[in-house]
Amino acid sequence: MALHALTRKLVKKEKEIFNKYGLVYLPEAVLEMWDPYSIAPNPAKTYWLAKNVVARLYPDARIEIEKLEKSEYINKAQAEILTNNGTPFIPVAFTNLYDTKLEADLNRKPIIEMPEKLEIEGALIPYGADILETLILAVVDKIMKTKPGASETDIINALTMPPPTGTGWLKHTPKLAYKIRQKLEQLTWKGILTYNPQTMTYTLTRKISTSIIRTE
C-alpha cells in the first residue's frame, strides 16, 4: 500500500511538472533525431536508445531533449522492434513529420511576405527588378530635374558620391563603372533611355514609375 501511495504521488507530481513546464521523464526511450554528429547541412535521420530521458514538449508538438544519462546508436529495424515492444518513442524536432532536416527547417519557419517594393537607402526597388538598372533610372530622373540630360560621369557620380553631391548608394570601383556603362547601353537598346551623341547625355524615354527617390 505504501508503494502504491508513493507511486500515486510521483505520478501526480510528474503531471504537475508536465502541465507547468512541458517536461516528461522516461527511464528509457527510443529517440529519432537528425544525426547530431554530422557536419552536413542536411544530416540523415538516426535512432538512439537513451536512458533517463527528460524531454520537453512544446505547444506546436515539437519535442526537444533537455537531458539524458546516456545513449547508444541503433538502426531503424532495432528502433521499430523496441517501439513495438513498448519502449516509448520520441521523434525529436519534427523528424516524424518531414523526410529531411532541410524540409523541416523550411516548413517551420514563419512565412515572410515579400513586399512589392523594397526600400534601399531611399530608393524603392520593385520586387524582382534589376537593382542596378532601377538605381540608374532613379538618378537619371533626379538629374533631369535640374539638367536636360545626364552624362555617364553624372550618373556614376550620382550613384557613388556621398550626399549632397550624390546618393552614396554604391561604392565606386572600376568594375562598378564598367557595369554601369553596360547597363546604360542595354537601357538604350531597350528604348528606356535615349542617348544624344552630340551632348553625350542620357534622358528617360518615358517617365519612370517603378522607383522613387525620397527627399534628402
Most confident stretch, 71-85, 142-156, 167-181, 196-210? 71-85
Q: Print the SS3 string covering the chain.
A: CHHHHHHHHHHHHHHHHHHHHCEEEEEEEEEEEECCCCCCCCCCEEEEEEEEEEEEECCCCCEEEEECCEEEEECHHHHHHHHHCCCCEEEHHHCCCCCCHHHHHHHHCCCCCCCCEEEECCEEEECCCCHHHHHHHHHHHHHCCCCCCEEHHHHHHHHHCCCCCCCCCCCCCHHHHHHHHHHHHHHHHHCCEEEECCCCEEEECCCCCCCCECCC
Residues 104, 122, single domain; the answer is no
Most confident stretch, 81-85, 130-134, 211-215? 81-85
pLDDT at residue 215 greater than cutoff 50: no
Does residue 209 form part of some domain? no
Q: Model's pTM, two decimal places? A: 0.45
Distance of alpha carbon 120 from alpha carbon 117, whole angstroms: 10
Over residues 35-51, mean pLDDT: 88
Residue-number span of the structural domain to which 92 is assigned: 2-108
Does residue 210 form part of some domain? no
Distance of alpha carbon 3 from alpha carbon 68, whole angstroms: 26
Residues 199, 145, single domain; the answer is yes
CATH number at residue 181: 1.10.10
Tell which wins on pLDDT, 97 or 16: 97
What's the total number of domains in the chain? Answer: 2
User: In sequence order, which residues have a C-beta less than 8 Å from that of residue 55 and are 6 or more positions away?
Assistant: 23, 24, 26, 29, 63, 64, 65, 66, 90
Does residue 159 form part of some domain? yes
Residues 93, 125, single domain; the answer is no
Give the model's confidence band at 21: pLDDT under 50 very low, under 70 low, under 90 confident, else very high: low
From 75, 108, 141, the end of a domain falls on 108
pLDDT at residue 212 greater than cutoff 60: no
pLDDT at residue 113 greater than cutoff 60: no
Residues 16, 103, single domain; the answer is yes
Tell which wins on pLDDT, 22 or 83: 83
Residues 65, 125, single domain; the answer is no
Mean pLDDT, rounded, of the chain: 79
Residues 129, 186, single domain; the answer is yes
pLDDT at residue 163 greater than cutoff 80: no
From 108, 133, 159, the end of a domain falls on 108
Residues 68, 159, single domain; the answer is no
Residues 21, 92, single domain; the answer is yes
Residues 80, 150, single domain; the answer is no
From 86, 108, 130, the end of a domain falls on 108
Does residue 189 form part of some domain? yes
Residues 92, 6, single domain; the answer is yes
Contact assessment for residue 34 and residue 45, using Cβ atoms and an 8 Å cutoff:
yes
Does residue 216 form part of some domain? no
Residues 160, 190, single domain; the answer is yes
